[in-house]
Structures are given as C-alpha cells and as structure tokens.
Structure 1
Amino acid sequence: MEKIDHIGIAVNNLEEKITYYTETLGLKLLRIEEVPSQNVRVAFLDAGNVHIELLEPLSEDGAIYNHIQKRGEGIQHVAFKVGNIEEKMSELKEKGVRILSEQPVPGAGGSKAAFIHPKDSFGVLYELYEKSGKGE
C-alpha cells in the first residue's frame, strides 16, 4: 500500500453535500463523474494530502444505495493507492484475505479498483486503487 488515496462517503444528494464541503469546509471541488460500473455519481474534493469522494447512487441498485439503506449516509470506504492492483490482490489472497471480485473493476477516471471483504479487515471496507494517470 503506497498511501491512503481517498475516503469514500455515501450521500443521498450530491449537490447538497458539495455545497457543504466547498462553502462550509472550504474544500476544492475537482470534478464530478459518473461511474457506471459502480452505479454512482462521484464528486472529487481536494482535502490536502487525501481526496474525499462523495458517492451518490444512480438508482436503487448497487453498493452505495445499499450502504445508505442499511447504515445511512457516511464513510463507506477507505482507499489505498497501489502500484499494481493485480499483484496486490494476488498477494492478499495468498495471505487468506478475501477480495470481493476476481478481477479489478473499472473505477473513476479510468482507474482500477478492488475491495477487501470488510469481515477480513475488522469491519472496514478497504479499496485497492490503481490510478490510470487521468484525472486526480
């Protein structure tokens, strides 16, 4: 793991929450993007040494919608930047860690993502995140 890249926060209303994070907290909005593979719309905010991802479900299907229904709005995951996601997934699997997919899934900005089963990380959903070089 290279560093914590971002913290994903599940929200019901992206525009409302962007206003809070930019006008109240003073963070800079970097961009907004839809990620069809995850069924979300994402706002990327610069919080200095880490980014905040606000995640709004696009429909009643998907992990973010389910998270909000079960737990309400709030932190959904913590993402670690990795250099080679396939190698990191293989290494973790060899150590007995369950990954929620066999292959990385497409993420925002052309990135690759994979998630560690929260039962293997003390209730925290961790994302392995390999940047593509596009975007922030």
Structure 2
Amino acid sequence: MRVLAERMRVCAEIAEVKAASGVSMMQPNRLAHVRDRMLAQGRAAGLSESFVHQIVSVITEESCRLEAAIIDGDEPLATDATRHSQIQAIDHIAIAVEDLETAVAELRDHYGFEVIERRSVEGEYSGMVSATMRAGGATFVVCQGTSERSNVSQYIAHRGQGVQHVALAVGDHTALLTDLRVAQADLLTGIIHAPGLDQTFTRRSTATGLQLEFISRTGGATGFEDDNVRELFESMERENVW
C-alpha cells in the first residue's frame, strides 16, 4: 500500500507540472510503452499475463483519474493532500517554564497529570531538565533551562513561559519530509533518528510564533531519547535560535 500511495503522490506531482506547462494528461504512446514493459517484467517473473494486465490497468486508470482531476482543478495539490494524510494527531506539547517542580506540582495536583519520565540533557551550551506528564490521551513535556544560555531560558526571556513547541504525530516520515521541502517549509533539522523514534523540527514561525515538531514512533516507543534532544539543542545552538 505504501508503494501504491507513493506512486499516486508522484503522479499527482507530475500532473501539477503538466497543468503548469499546458501539457495534456493523456500520452497514448507513453502509456502503451509502460504497459508493454510491465507485461514483459511480469512474464520474466513467471506471473500470469492476464493477472499483470489487470493490475497495470487498475493502477493506470487511477493514475489517469488523479492526473485528470488535478489538471482540471478538481483535486487538491499533491503536496497538500500528502501532508494532511501524514499528520495523525498531537503527540505532545512542550511547555517552557522557569520552575520545573512548581509546574509539575500544579499539573499533578490540580489537573491529574502524572509524571511518566524525567530527563536531564546538556548540549554544548544549552541544557534542560524536563518532566513528561500524561493525563488520558494528553501529554505535556515540561522543560526548564539549566542556564541563561539554554534555548529554553532564551525562549522564556523573549516570549515568557508557555507553549514552546507542538509535536505532531505522523505516518510516513520520509514522505512527509519530502513534501515539506517541496512546499519550502522552514525546517530547522532533517530527520533525527533514534531506535523507534524519528523527529523533525521547524524553525519558529514569525506568523504564528510556533515551532512544530513532526514525530513518528515505531515498536511501541512512547518516550524520548537523550541523543535526539541533544541533536536538537546543537542545531538550535548552531543557528542561535530558540
């Protein structure tokens, strides 16, 4: 299914180029060439020609339908559709505070959040202590800088305490990142990898004030990794952003 979805995404991008260039959707000679090549590959793989023909026909019909819809203006742009389909939910919200323990006590005592993880991470210049807290399906990561140079402390100095970034859970991280780059999203990092955890961060938006994180988890991973946080800190330090 992932391969088919990727093919449709590429077809949609091709349709956008055709629409912008005034090229017609249907190119019969090209279509016949592709069909003959697929049939030959199917025979070489020992597959029934009728079976391969049916598969090629179904894929071709959907590709043509999608391209025609985009060229005629009836279908959303591929990049928009793909980005929307990859974003699944809010994974967590990071909150920058001046006093971690005071914030933890308030969220615990007044709102029923429980601490599920504590962490202390240092970059070259930046450092923070944090507590991941959860109530039902809501997760907060409460962060306090450990020095004035910490990006968390810098954030508070410029913007006050509050939401530092919003993390969005995504499906196919690689496909999403490709589409974000095509859309010229202002990315701070590429994919930061860790076992069971991939993260990508944007720079802080001048339009919304938000920094977004895109996060994908596999293998039941629910927490975070020191190396990922450290790499984020180092990226922010290099560019002097907070």
Judge same fold: TM > 0.5, yes or no. yes
Matched, 1:13 2:99: yes
Identity %, equivalent residues: 25
Alignment correspondent of 1:54: 142
Matched to 1:6, the amino acid is H
Q: What is the TM-score when the length of structure 1 is the normalising length? A: 0.81
Matched, 1:70 2:158: yes
Distance (whole Å) between structure 2 residues aligned to residue 94 and residue 115 of structure 1:
16
Q: Is the 8 A contact 2:120 2:129 kept in 1?
A: yes
CA displacement at 1:59 relative to structure 2: 2.4
Matched to 1:134, the amino acid is A
Distance (whole Å) between structure 1 residues aligned to residue 151 and residue 193 of structure 2:
15
Alignment correspondent of 1:100: 188
Larger relative helix fraction: 2
CA RMSD of aligned residues (A): 2.5
CA displacement at 1:120 relative to structure 2: 7.0
Q: What is the TM-score when the length of structure 2 is the normalising length? A: 0.49
Determine which of 204, 219, 228 is the counterpart of 1:118.
204
CA displacement at 1:13 relative to structure 2: 1.5
After superposition, residues 26-37 of structure 1 pair within 5 angstroms as 26-36=112-122
Distance (whole Å) between structure 2 residues aligned to residue 19 and residue 92 of structure 1:
38
CA displacement at 1:26 relative to structure 2: 1.6
Distance (whole Å) between structure 2 residues aligned to residue 121 and residue 89 of structure 1:
21
CA displacement at 1:116 relative to structure 2: 2.0
Instruction: Count how many residue pairs are aligned between Structure 1 and Structure 2.
Output: 134
Alignment correspondent of 1:134: 221
Gaps of 5+ in 2: 1-86, 224-242
Q: Is the 8 A contact 1:89 1:99 kept in 2?
A: no
The range that moved more, 51-60 or 82-91, is: 82-91
The range that moved more, 71-80 or 28-37, is: 28-37
CA displacement at 1:17 relative to structure 2: 1.0
1:124 counterpart SS class:
coil
Runs of 4+ in 1 over 4 A off after TM superposition: none
